[in-house]
Amino acid sequence: MTQVSLDPDGMSEASQRARETMARIERESAQRDQDRREGRKVGKLSHSLHEKLRSCNPQQLKRVIKLSRQYLKEHKHAPAFRDFPNRRHARVLAHVEHKNMRYCLEVHPCSKANCRKCPHGPYIYSYHRDGQYFPLKYHGSTFTRLPRKVRDAFRPIVAEYKGGIGEKGLDALKEFVNRGGTLIALGEASNLLANKLPLPVKELKHTLTRDQHYAPGTIVNLQVDTSHPMGIGSAENTFGFYINSPFFQMAARH
């Protein structure tokens, strides 16, 4: 009977080399994936695709050129609604195509048990074709910068789905203010008051492009007028959290 002696130090070194090799392979694989994703954004072809094209004969390459022209034409049009999968379990209330984008009006369930507000929304998303992928862009629930065709299609549905205070409710607010009441509006509700009430303010956000103003979530410095009743008890200089709400400029009184 042959006895085999094991060298613990040798096994330890072999295990260490194996772990290092696996770690190196994982790093290289992750780097290749990252390079492929980054290269896709600028139109760079992967090494494997280069090799596959190089292996084609002239007849196959002509076929590739013909297919490429066909696929390029498809990118100029909005993706068909049936093409992109619904990965977020959304219910699509309506969808409209505009140029190479498809806009969808969606409501979404949440993960909370017994949520009385489900489904949430409706929210607006747009999708465009990027090869076999369909990247989305979230537009929220406002129509500020949507194409007219999309606004006209979605507005009646949103109004029916969300409801609102209506003209009677607005008249009640006006009466409340006329009797000396103080009315405070937050976010997009400020636009309603600025548009419907004779307020000496000018809304500025809608006059700016995305390049001029983009603040999806920003901490800003605030200078507070502590002599005003609403500023009593606050510091003159403080901070606030701003997330794409409208902002206004005092208009000249005539």
- Give every CB contact of residue 38 below 8 A, 6+ residues apart in sequence: 44
DSSP 114-179: T-TTPSEEEEEEEEE-BTTB--EEEEET--TTS-HHHHHHHHHHHHHHH---HHHHHHHHHHHHHT
- The total of other beta-carbon atoms located within 10 Å of residue 122's CB is 21
**Is the dihedral angle over the CA atoms 163, 169, 171, 176 positive or is it negative?**
negative
Average pLDDT value for residue range 1-7: 56
Contact 192, 185 (CB under 8 A): yes
* C-alpha separations of 74 from 67, 71, 101, 131 in Å: 11, 5, 12, 9
How high is the pLDDT of residue 87? 62
231, 204, 236: which is closest to 221 by C-alpha?
A: 236
Can you name the residues that pair with 250 across neighbouring β-strands?
A: 201
The tens digit of pLDDT for each residue in 89-138 reads: 788 889 999 999 999 999 888 777 777 777 788 889 999 998 888 888 98
Burial class (CB in 10 A: 0-12, 13-18, 19+), 174: middle
Tokens of 119: 């489904």
Q: What is the per-residue pLDDT across 22-31, written as a single tens digit (0 to 9) for each?
A: 999 999 888 8
Q: What is the pLDDT of residue 36?
A: 79
pLDDT over 70 at 2, yes or no: no
Q: Where is pLDDT greater, at 204 or 84? A: 204
Percent of the chain with pLDDT over 90: 22
Its pTM stands at 0.53
Over range 247-251, report the average pLDDT: 82
* pLDDT given for residue 166 in this prediction: 74
Rounded Cα gap, residues 187 and 170, in angstroms: 17
For the chain, what are the domain ranges?
Answer: 91-162, 166-250
Q: To the nearest 5 percent, what fractions of the chain are helix, strand and coil? A: 40, 20, 40
Residues 6+ apart with CB under 8 A from 77: 97, 100, 129
